[in-house]
Amino acid sequence: MAKGKGTVFFCQNCGYESSKWMGQCPACKEWNSFVEEKVVKASPNTRARRMEAKVTPITEVSINECERISVGFQELDRVLGGGLVKGSLILVGGDPGIGKSTILLQVCKNLSEQGRKVLYISGEESMEQIKMRADRIGTFGNSLSLFCETSLTLIEEVIDGEKPEVVVIDSVQTMYGEDVSSAPGSVSQVREATNTFMQIAKGKGITIFLVGHVTKEGVVAGPRVLEHMVDTVLYFEGDRHASYRILRGVKNRFGSTNEIGVFEMQQTGLREVENPSEFMLEGRPKDASGSVVACSMEGSRPILLEVQALVCQSNLGIPRRTTVGAELNRVNQLMAVLEKRGGFHLGSCDAYVNIAGGIRMVEPAIDLAIAAAIISSYKERIMPPGTILFGEIGLSGEVRAVSMAEQRVREAKKLGFLRCVLPESNRKGLPEIEGIEIVGISSVTEILSLCKA
């Protein structure tokens, strides 16, 4: 940190610190994100605490039986690693309007129904606005209190007085500490706020949810700045035009990451989607060329989704290829493999690949389904509707094994699929599963024969 000068420059996107202004952040490559801020002095109580510092051998550290509190949503409990841990600090990030305030208010409702004392602190909305949202969600008990404030000192005092079990801060970017001179939402303020809440959470054993907006313009510091300071980071994603929302665990000190929870936004708040596969496959065309079903793993959970492709002769010098939900480079690579190893003349074709439902999938296991959708559309041959495919495709056109094949097959069977096409090397290790035919393939040249004549 630059000493003596009194100010430093922070990247508002990732929190990178520099003594000079820079056009582009060397860490996150964001342009024009540097803002000058006053240097924050280390808080004095660190020095006081140094007196009582002592080291302990690991064998002598005792763990208090860590109690998990259910938040009333199974989907969220799973993402949290089995419920809320007392005294943890959880960051919920996401685009504005995605539903962060809604889900946290619903969590407050569920917790207050269990008789727990909950405090919802908003720096963005008035009590009336929160009450209006609450009325849409349902009826609330008495153990939930609201507080509209942005000053960290006042909030600390109120938490001390109220002694709640769970606190929600909506949002961390509106909070400010008086000792920091920069504006609310700046890197120093957001760090100061998070630090304060971390001390409250750890010191008093209160579970705190922090809401953080993701911003692209770098007007306020994004949640990335805080990721390393909190225990758990959850991101709320989803297409604002579609009604489903995905809650993704990005970091979790108390559970595994890469778990997702699926929700649907309704008139009365968010509702859990217990069977996302069914949800994703709703309205799927039967007997249409270019439409196949794939299975992708999201953490420990298989999700079936529909992959669509439209391949047609191009009138352009450079054929147009676009993707929604899948990676464009991956699709281009798969088309090159199909051209060279499969003998399909796709070089002069436009291709549009879409993962229905607006969900974004990057797992290589959907390669086989993308390739099958492309071939099905190109050859105008239909993949029988009861078929599901998964497998990774290599550059030699080989179909490679993927992890957790059995779970994927079981999920397909649960949803009534009759045939599962998977890598030959996976088929060998698979136990007999009744009611579903298993077809192992080892090369892209075999895909066409799976389609209806």
User: Could you tell me how many residues of this chain bind Mg ion (CB under 5 A)?
Assistant: 1
Residue number with CB closer to ligand TYD (268 or 403): 268
The residue to which tokens 């579970």 are assigned: 207
Cα 306 from Cα 348, distance rounded (Å): 25
Q: Which does 102 bind (CB under 5 to 8 A by kind): Mg ion, ligand TYD, none?
A: ligand TYD
Going residue by residue from 264 to 283, which x/- string records binding to ligand TYD, judged by CB under 6 A? -x-xxx--------------
CA distances from 394 to 32, 268, 318, 399, 409 (A): 40, 46, 25, 6, 22
Q: Is 136 in the site for ligand TYD (CB under 6 A)?
A: yes
User: What stretch of H or E contains 132?
Assistant: helix 127-137
Residue number with CB closer to Mg ion (166 or 361): 166
Residue number with CB closer to ligand TYD (87 or 99): 99
| Residues between 163 and 182 that touch ligand TYD (CB under 6 A) | none
What single-letter amino acid sits at 225? V
Contacts of 247 (CB under 8 A, 6+ apart): 75, 76, 79, 103, 234, 235, 236, 237, 260, 261, 262, 263
Q: Is 98 in the site for ligand TYD (CB under 6 A)?
A: yes
Is residue 301 helix, strand or coil?
strand
- Helix ranges, 148-305 (H): 152-162, 187-204, 276-281
Both tokens of residue 321?
A: 């290829």
Going residue by residue from 156 to 195, which x/- string records binding to Mg ion, judged by CB under 5 A? ----------------------------------------
| Residues between 372 and 411 that touch ligand TYD (CB under 6 A) | none
Q: Is 101 in the site for Mg ion (CB under 5 A)?
A: yes
Q: Which does 267 bind (CB under 5 to 8 A by kind): Mg ion, ligand TYD, none?
A: ligand TYD
Adjacent-strand bridge partners of 294:
305, 389
Q: Minimum distance between the CB of residue 265 and ligand TYD, rounded to whole angstroms?
A: 5
Cα 326 from Cα 360, distance rounded (Å): 6
Residue number with CB closer to ligand TYD (86 or 133): 133
Q: Minimum distance between the CB of residue 211 and ligand TYD, rounded to whole angstroms?
A: 7
* Chain contacts with Mg ion (rule: CB under 5 A): 101
* Chain contacts with ligand TYD (rule: CB under 6 A): 94, 96-102, 133, 136, 265, 267-269
